[in-house]
Amino acid sequence: MEAYEILANPKNLKRRKIINIVMLTLSVVSGLVAIIPLIYILFYTTAAGISSLNLDFFTQLPKPVGEPGGGIANAIVGSVEIVGLGSAFGIPIGLMSGIYVSEFSKSFFANIVKFVTDVLSGIPSIIIGIFAYGVIVLQTKHFSALAGGFALGILMIPTVTRITEEMLKLVPISLREASLALGISRWKTTLKIVLRTASGGIITGMLLAIARAAGETAPLLFTSFGNSFWSESIDSPTASLPVQIFNYAISPYAEWHQKAWAGAFVLIALVFIISLIVRLITKNKFSQSV
């Protein structure tokens, strides 16, 4: 019985134990490795950004190189405007589709919708930018906040659909049954019982989608473009926070870099706070509904 001897060989056992320890250590180390750039980015951006944050940053227009002070108020307002337009377009579509996929999932068509939503979420954002350019900018012959909002809206759709679907599926079927058994119609059951029960999770999920959209740069480069001043309307070129950061970051001027760091810090803070809220709320949600 050679096999047993090999297995019982203490050397062999020792080797297995060493492999065990090495691999487990590697696993822990890789966890740390992934954290290092994260912490680095968070701290570096905070340190570099917070020093140039002041009231002017939020309230003043950009100043030309060489003049001290100034801010990126127009970019912040522009971002709010573009993201607002995007939300107005993307959230209803995403929400309703999520309801369809979750509540009427019996149908074959729901699976197609799910697949296509996955496809949409995999399309690089720059391509959505090209699309919005072709559909809006090319037709109206000028860059506009509207085109940027359209692009961001499309980008938000898959996230919102997915989150709505998942949150609605967390609502136990017994609640739907209870409501239907009272003679409440299906649509009222869905909107006033199911959606309301899942509303915490859905709202935070949407905040997350909005935060992501707020950080998108690529699709805005040639849709909403940029503007050094206040934009006149949603039909004209509009500055946005990420594009402004990009333009400042690739410029050769140190003072603009400072502004860019401050902008980056604002973006990260936004993402961080929203993720934290999402985390807290979904945690409560789970413990309550189970």
Residues 200-219 that bind other proteins (CB under 8 A): 208, 211-212, 214-218
Instruction: Compute the least distance from the CB of residue 51 to other proteins, in Å.
Output: 15
Nearer to other proteins, 62 or 94 (CB): 94
Instruction: Compute the least distance from the CB of residue 82 to other proteins, in Å.
Output: 14
Q: Is 142 in the site for other proteins (CB under 8 A)?
A: no
Convert 125-192 into a string of H (helix), E (strand) and C (coil): HHHHHHHHHHHHHHHHCCCCHHHHHHHHHHHHHHHHHHHHHHHHHHCCHHHHHHHHHCCCCHHHHHHH
Q: Is 258 in the site for other proteins (CB under 8 A)?
A: no
Residues 46-65 that bind other proteins (CB under 8 A): none
Q: Is 267 in the site for other proteins (CB under 8 A)?
A: yes
Closest C-alpha among 254, 250, 252 to residue 242: 250
Nearer to other proteins, 113 or 234 (CB): 113
Q: Is 269 in the site for other proteins (CB under 8 A)?
A: no
Q: Is 106 in the site for other proteins (CB under 8 A)?
A: yes
SS3 state at 6: helix
Q: Is 287 in the site for other proteins (CB under 8 A)?
A: no
Q: Is 69 in the site for other proteins (CB under 8 A)?
A: no
Residues 218-237 that bind other proteins (CB under 8 A): 218, 221-222, 225
The distance between the two most distant Cα atoms of the chain, rounded to a whole number of Å, is 88
Q: How far apart are CA 241 and CA 261, in angstroms?
A: 11
CB neighbours of residue 159 within 10 Å: 23
